[in-house]
């Protein structure tokens, strides 16, 4: 139910403020008006808060839980050791659930409502696109979730759980409406604009992802739609594959388009993985007891294939060494722990190229088109890493790797090529919770740490079980699966 925790949104609080103002003759005096306490948050401030919050959430519990399931990382002590062995209680996903609802979706809803009322199309569209991203991520982790009644505050203290497949239709509609609201002609008539080049730029907060560039937001919306359609191709649905390809073509054209949030050097603004490593450090990125080589499954595969990206992604000599800013993580400026001012990627160009390869393989089969997407995906990921950390690996090392078996899918059957493409996409999705969705769709072999199966979903939080009991579906970590995972 969480009615006095997360479902009282900013919109509900605003309504309560308005109610108090209308009743102040009877109950209050002007002494209750605090000039230092604003009754609403400016659109720009809301937007930047949503973006940064999503970065912390994606790089926080979503990343830690999902990437332990896909064995990109290893929990070796304390709580993380239990999580790595799939020992979760319903209290463990509380933070992830609360943050995605409170800080992303509820605030996106508030941004949408006040931007619509104020006649500010671009802010409205950006709110819709951020809502679409947050909603799809939440569906992908839990399946059926509250949405249609989730943001009514006290008017709906026990919101119903909407069906996951229907919520994908909502995500699609949000993206299309967001795209329509990015129309420059509409922006010209707005009272305020998030674009610094617009004379109506409100200079209140900022768009930390794209700095008000509406065309970039349109590409981001198409990237979300490409994900939405490829998620539904587990059984090679040709129509879904064709739609995924159509949106890939309308989305990112280089790494310059990547949707990400970069964090700061100040201790209160450091990247989430950097903060986690400094404060807890109970997750390993390199060592593992699975293989004789002492590498994680993730790192082991890169070592065995001579993948030059390994040294850019993790420090094999020092594991987690805060002083080693050169090689710990993705490299300088791109490290998950070596740098406080590292980014969190939401969707990038490499992922979209791998989506294009998978969609082509499922609908057409192995051929030059699929292979071009595949090679472009690898090159895009290498380019992202080497741009962030130049000079660590050489062009000759890259050329040698691409000349090997991992550099092409042309000699493989379609099922083999889908798995190889998925594995390379998994490497590019390092520490991105999307890797968990990718594995559930493509099902490359993961040996369970314990028991006979790897979890396929998150547990519902205990607060929901306690306060919204009648509506919370019965679920374990294994069942029911999200609709596209059937």
Would you list the DSSP string of 219-250? Answer: HHHHHHHHHHHHTT-TT--HHHHHHHHHHHHT
pLDDT digits (tens, 9 = 90+) for 287-330: 544 444 556 778 888 888 999 988 888 765 433 332 233 333 33
Answer yes or no: is pLDDT of 400 > 60.
yes
Sign of the alpha-carbon dihedral angle for 321, 324, 330, 334: positive
Helix (H) or strand (E) holding 355: helix 349-363
pLDDT digits (tens, 9 = 90+) for 417-444: 999 999 999 999 999 999 999 999 999 9
Phi, psi dihedrals of residue 75, rounded to the nearest 5°: -85, 120
Q: What mean pLDDT is reported for the chain?
A: 86
pLDDT digits (tens, 9 = 90+) for 125-137: 999 999 999 999 9
**Residue 225 DSSP label:** H
CA distance 92 to 85: 14
Helix (H) or strand (E) holding 284: strand 283-284
Contact predicate 13/109, CB 8 Å: no
Fold of 1-212: 1.25.40
Contact predicate 483/143, CB 8 Å: yes
Quick one: pLDDT band at residue 153, thresholds 50, 70, 90? confident
Tell me the mean pLDDT in the region 214-218.
97
Quick one: pLDDT band at residue 28, thresholds 50, 70, 90? very low
- Paired tokens of 200: 């109506």
The pLDDT score that the predictor gives to residue 338 is: 53
The pLDDT score that the predictor gives to residue 14 is: 36
pTM value > 0.85 = yes
Nearest-CA neighbor of 214 among 234, 240, 238, 188? 188
Within 8 A by CB and 6+ apart from 450, the residues are 85, 86
Total number of residues shown for the chain: 486
Q: By three-state DSSP, how is residue 4 classified?
A: coil
Answer yes or no: is pLDDT of 206 > 50.
yes
**Residue 365 DSSP label:** -
**Residue 162 DSSP label:** B
Give percent of the chain with pLDDT exceeding 70: 85
**259 - beta bridge partners?**
347
Burial 276-285 (b: 16+ CB within 10 A, else e): bbeeebbbbb
Quick one: pLDDT band at residue 277, thresholds 50, 70, 90? confident
Domain ranges in the chain? 1-212
The pLDDT score that the predictor gives to residue 284 is: 78
CA distance 148 to 483: 18
The Cα diameter of the chain in Å comes to 80
For every residue of 386-408, DSSP letters joined together read HHHSTTSS-HHHHHHHHTSGGG-
Answer yes or no: is pLDDT of 5 > 70.
no
**262 - beta bridge partners?**
343
Answer yes or no: is pLDDT of 395 > 60.
yes
**Residue 261 DSSP label:** E
The pLDDT score that the predictor gives to residue 323 is: 29
Sign of the alpha-carbon dihedral angle for 209, 116, 139, 83: positive
The pLDDT score that the predictor gives to residue 177 is: 98
Q: By three-state DSSP, how is residue 215 classified?
A: helix
- Paired tokens of 74: 């290893």
Sign of the alpha-carbon dihedral angle for 319, 320, 325, 328: positive
CA distance 114 to 127: 10
Going through 272-405 in order, the beta strands assigned E by DSSP cover 283-284, 343-347
Q: How many CA atoms lie within 13 A of 177 on its CB side?
A: 18
For helices 10-22 and 107-118, the axis angle rounded to 10 degrees is 60
Tell me the mean pLDDT in the region 116-141.
97
Contact predicate 83/280, CB 8 Å: no
Contact predicate 328/343, CB 8 Å: no
CA distance 204 to 124: 15
């Amino acid at each position: 139910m969480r009615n006095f925790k997360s479902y009282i949104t900013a919109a509900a609080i605003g309504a309560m403020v308005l109610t108090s103002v209308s009743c102040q003759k009877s109950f209050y005096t002007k002494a209750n008006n605090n000039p230092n306490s604003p009754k609403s948050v400016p659109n720009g401030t809301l937007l930047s808060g949503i973006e940064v919050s999503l970065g912390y959430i994606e790089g926080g519990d979503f990343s830690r839980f999902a990437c332990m399931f896909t064995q990109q990382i290893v929990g070796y002590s304390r709580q993380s050791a239990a999580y790595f062995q799939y020992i979760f209680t319903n209290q463990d996903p509380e933070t992830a659930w609360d943050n995605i609802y409170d800080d992303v979706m509820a605030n996106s809803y508030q941004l949408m409502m006040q931007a619509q009322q104020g006649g500010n199309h671009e802010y409205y569209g950006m709110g819709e696109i951020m809502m679409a991203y947050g909603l799809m991520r939440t569906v992908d982790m839990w399946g059926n979730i509250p949405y249609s009644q989730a943001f009514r505050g006290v008017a709906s203290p026990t919101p119903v759980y909407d069906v996951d497949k229907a919520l994908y239709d909502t995500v699609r509609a949000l993206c299309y409406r967001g795209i329509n609201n990015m129309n420059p002609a509409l922006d010209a008539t707005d009272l305020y604009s998030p674009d610094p080049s617009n004379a109506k730029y409100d200079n209140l907060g900022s768009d930390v992802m794209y700095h008000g560039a509406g065309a970039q937001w349109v590409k981001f919306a198409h990237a979300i739609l490409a994900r939405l359609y490829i998620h539904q191709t587990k059984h090679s649905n040709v129509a879904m594959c064709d739609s995924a390809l159509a949106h890939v073509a309308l989305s990112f054209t280089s790494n310059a388009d990547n949707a990400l949030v970069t964090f700061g050097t100040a201790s209160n603004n450091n990247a989430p993985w950097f903060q986690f490593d400094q404060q807890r450090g109970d997750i390993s990125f390199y060592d593992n007891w699975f293989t004789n080589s002492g590498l994680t499954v993730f790192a082991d595969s890169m070592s065995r294939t001579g993948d030059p990206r390994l040294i850019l992604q993790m420090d094999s000599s020092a594991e987690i060494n805060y002083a080693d800013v050169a090689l710990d993580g993705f490299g300088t400026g791109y490290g998950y722990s070596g740098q406080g001012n590292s980014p969190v990627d939401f969707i990038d160009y490499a992922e979209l190229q791998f989506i294009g390869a998978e969609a082509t393989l499922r609908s057409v089969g192995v051929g030059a088109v699929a292979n071009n997407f595949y090679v472009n995906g690898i090159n895009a990921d290498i380019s992202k890493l080497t741009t962030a950390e130049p000079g660590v690996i050489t062009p000759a090392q890259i050329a040698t790797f691409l000349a090997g078996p991992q550099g092409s899918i042309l000699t493989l059957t379609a099922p083999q090529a889908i798995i190889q493409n998925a594995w390379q996409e998994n490497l590019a999705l390092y520490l991105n919770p999307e890797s968990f969705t990718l594995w559930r769709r493509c099902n490359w072999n993961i040996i369970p740490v314990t028991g006979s199966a790897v979890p396929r979903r998150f547990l519902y939080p205990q607060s929901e079980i306690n306060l919204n009991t009648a509506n919370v579906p019965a679920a374990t970590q294994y069942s029911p699966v999200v609709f596209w995972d059937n």
